[in-house]
Structure 1
Amino acid sequence: MNEHLMVGEVEIRRVVDLEAPFLPATALVPGVPEERWRENRSWLAPDFWDPDSGRVMAAVQTWVLRSEGKTVLVDTGVGNGRHRPDAPHFADLDTDFPARLAAAGVRPEDVDIVVNTHLHADHVGWNTRRGDGGWVPTFPNATYLMPAADHAHFGPRGADRVSRDPVFADSVAPVDRAGQTVLWSGAYRIDAHLSLEAAPGHTPGSSVLRLASGTDRAVFVGDLLHTPVQILEPEHSSCLCLDPRAAAATRARVLGRAADERELVVPAHLRGAGAAEVRRAGGKFAIRRWAA
């Protein structure tokens, strides 16, 4: 995707936090055999897959939307200076993300809404920054929309082991204390163009953001897709999905609607074009075209 795209009346910009090789492809999506990657090498490499190392190439990025005069951020990356014992590749980073956000015309005080599609470390990190006395919200005037199911699951009283990790403490709890968190369940209307919808499986509260403006459509699917191979093989979830079966069912539903309604599918971690239109291909899906 170009750094600037219009979907109807809504402007979309991409701001990258980091790009790097990720897990080996057969480890990230263990149900997809290696030969499936190799037979699609012509378009998977180099943006989405490195055939030499066998690793998935991924980006951590924020989508900046301008809708009805408001600035909306979709996911906030990893953040700098984080203690991440279970994710050393996200630990103690020092990226120039704030400068990149500024280059996209976004000052922290201008952000009206932050959407966290779910509450994993690489989607909430820039929710906060170092301030006097500890972590404070990066976007002081924003409402942070978080899925209630994830907030409960990953919070200090949640059942998941991640609740004992520092992610919630440094990237979610400070927003709660500032009174800027809005928890939602099921569905949530942001404005005339934007709405959130539950899409569980990757996490209990995973969600998608739907954009409808005029005749144009897009859907920001978060970690419903980690790689475009999952468009070809939607029944296979990543090793990072807490409920792989539910994630696969959600993926099939969301991709089916995207194919039928010509929604531009915008995953969280795709490099290169970053987004694609999909079409039905038998019981699966294929890429109709990449974002312009």
Structure 2
Amino acid sequence: MYWKVGKVKITKIVELETVGSTRFILPLASNEEIRKSPWLVPHFATDEGRLKMSIHSLVVETSARRIVVDTGLGNDKQGRNVPTWNNRQGPFLETMREAGFAPDSIDTVLCTHLHVDHVGWNTSLVNGKWVPTFANARYVFGRAEYEHWRDDREEPDKVAVFNDSVKPVADAGRADLVASDARLTDEITLIPTPGHSPGHMSVHIRSDGEEALLTGDVAHHPCQMAHLDWSSTADFDPVQSAATRRQLFGRFADTETLVIGGHFNAGRIRRDDDAFKFIV
């Protein structure tokens, strides 16, 4: 699946898709509540009100760059807080190659934030050592985000993620720490969107008069556009995350900006009373 934004092409590479089983991340999103927003069906929820979500990467191609935005769960990782995320042996890299994106063809990896399901394929296990998966790439991390997780040693699962999927990149000299509003290319600028994590960033793309927004995890699901106060259990600051949603969605609502989530497909944001809805 891919989208064109001016001269920029965005391709979705799926690692894992789920239907339902998402209450652990969005506890207020009951089947009954979801059915009250019929615009979610069929693209983002089933008729029964079960949420459709995915863990995926987005490959952004410009005339000069080939960028992977977020890198999923990865294989062989341990110490994850979701049992099925441990020691995965999935075909993600093969899927990338089949789509035309060999790992050594990637020149930039951009992580919107450094949570477990956005950094996993940063590294691969080779002869018992974690090494950068994308050997020719610079890895772009938000400085505030990186420094927070580097210095936070209290939660074992997050320590494990940093140690196997982030630190080896820095140790290999492949990491570039940037401001959360940095301009990466003529077409790509970062937007600070804190709340889900301390230094979370979204990605704003402009090309030939067209625009796209890669939200990362500002929202895990479009139902949070209708319910801005439905913060995720994984949010670092639930109050800030709700405020960020209102501000970001308000900025792009009722425009033709193509919006692609960190865990959901593309659409456009429309105002709906005091909140928003998402239209494919």
1:68-217 paired onto structure 2 within 5 Å: 68-155=63-150, 157-158=151-152, 160-162=154-156, 165-217=159-211
Given that residues 123 and 168 in structure 2 are in contact (C-alpha distance below 8 angstroms), is that contact kept between their aligned partners in structure 1? Answer: yes
In structure 1, the partner of 2:9 is: 11
Shift of the 143–43 alpha-carbon distance from structure 1 to 2, 3 Å rule, reads same
Take 2:45 and 2:215, find their aligned partners in 1: how far apart are those partners? 20
Alignment-mate amino acid for residue 68 of structure 1: S
Q: Is the 8 A contact 2:17 2:53 kept in 1?
A: yes
Give the Cα–Cα distance (whole angstroms) in 2 for the partners of residues 219 and 253 of structure 1: 14
Does the alignment pair 1:40 with 2:37? Answer: yes
Letter of the 1:213 partner, please give it. S
Return the TM-score normalized by structure 2. Answer: 0.92
Partners in 2 of 1:160 and 1:219 — Cα distance?
Answer: 33
Higher strand share: 1
Match of 1:29 in 2: 26
Match of 2:55, SS?
Answer: strand
Residue 55 of structure 1, CA deviation: 4.9
Decide whether the 8 Å contact of 1:146 with 1:183 is kept in 2.
yes
What is the one-letter code of the residue matched to 1:36?
A: E
SS at match of 2:148: helix
Letter in 2 for 1:132: N
TM-score by length of 1: 0.89
Where does residue 227 of structure 1 map in the other structure? 221
Post-superposition offset of 1:39: 2.4
Q: Which runs of 5+ in 2 are unaligned?
A: none
Residue identity in the other structure for 1:285 = F
- Alignment partner for residue 282 of structure 1, among 270, 273, 276? 273
The total of aligned residue pairs comes to 280
What is the CA distance between 1:34 and its match in structure 2?
4.7
Q: In structure 2, how many angstroms separate the alpha carbons of the residues matched to 1:248 and 1:219?
A: 18
Q: 1:37 to 1:73 in 2, by over 3 A?
A: same
**Cα deviation, residue 51, structure 1:** 6.2
* Aligned-pair Cα RMSD in Å: 2.0
Runs of 4+ in 1 over 6 A off after TM superposition: none
> 1:22 offset after TM fit, Å?
5.4
